[in-house]
Amino acid sequence: MAPSTPVRTVVVLAGGISHERDVSLRSGRQVADRLQEHGISVTLRDPDASLLAFLADTRPDVVWPALHGASGEDGALRGLLEFIGIPFVGSTSGSARLAWDKPTAKVLVSRAGVPTPLSIALSRDTFRELGAKSVLDSLANGLPVPLVVKPAQGGSAQGVTLVDDRDDLPRAMVDAYTYCDVAIVEHRVVGSEIAISVIDTGDGPVALPAVEIKPLSGVYSFEAKYNAGETRFYTPARLSDEVSEAAAEVALLAHRALGLRHISRVDLIVDAGGIPWFLEANVLPGLTETSLLPLALEAAGHDIGWVYSALAEAAIRDSK
């Protein structure tokens, strides 16, 4: 166990201007409540034009970015915190940028030996210059249905479409481009969808029990993620010990390949043969009352407030 580094004051950043503002506010409130239960003084605030001056004046022990979407996950805010010397929970700015861009993350994780579904990233400009029909016709043989189309950046399943009929692909591309100028067209591996959270409070990254995701509608949409009762979660996932261990190893490999720290969540599909396929990694997993990381912590027997406090302590140690 790493030596304790007392944390007295934490600023939790929540809200922001992304499509995931409401989710961020819920995550931030949960983090603040859990830290306060452990005697830490917490300020919960929305980032705005006065934030950097506020941090410079108050110099909190730790900042906890609970900002989903670009404002908290693309590395920019983290870079500013590094620049002004404020410790923060989560991955560094450089690693956050790598994970935020899904095509980049897929390349790096695949180089570490992890299977990831065949895919192609297509910019909106490519469609305009080469013609949508020409591009989609070229994909027909190399990427047969079923497919998934999603923005190359972003989270919470926004802009994600499952495609079972190729005639639905143009509409799916339009939906993805609503959220990002680059879309991923990816072969959809059929199997069990699981999420494995990774935490590191100072003794190295540890994979938590896998959470199996079974949306009642069949699609893990934004609504299914954040509306209670619309998805069944199995923790630990209904996998054999052998497959569970393999999935945990894949999550740790992805975490390390992207250089992540403190906290992450790796999303996987386990196919009928028991092979875990990497989909994406999240540097800021949801921390709401229906989110997967808190479920995994409870399944592992951890006190959530203690873990959050330990992560804040790790942020101080890693800043030195």
Question: Average pLDDT of 115-125?
Answer: 95
Q: How far apart are CA 179 and CA 264, in angstroms?
A: 22
pLDDT tens digit sequence for 272-293: 999 999 999 999 999 988 889 9
268, amino acid identity: L
2 vs 201, 259, 313, 315, 318, CA distance in Å? 8, 20, 10, 12, 11
Backbone angles phi, psi at 140, to 5 degrees: -55, -45
pLDDT tens for each residue of 160-197:
999 999 899 999 999 999 989 999 999 999 999 999 99
Question: What pLDDT does 294 receive?
Answer: 95
pLDDT recorded at residue 89: 98
Residue 269: is its pLDDT beyond 90? yes
Read off the pLDDT band of 221 (50, 70, 90). low
Domains and CATH numbers, the chain: 9-90 (3.40.50.20), 98-115+190-301+312-318 (3.30.470.20), 119-187 (3.30.1490.20)
Over residues 124-139, the pLDDT tens digits come to 999 889 998 899 888 8
> What's the average model confidence in pLDDT over 38-53?
95
The overall average pLDDT reported for the chain is 92
Q: In sequence order, what are the beta bridge partners of 211?
A: 195
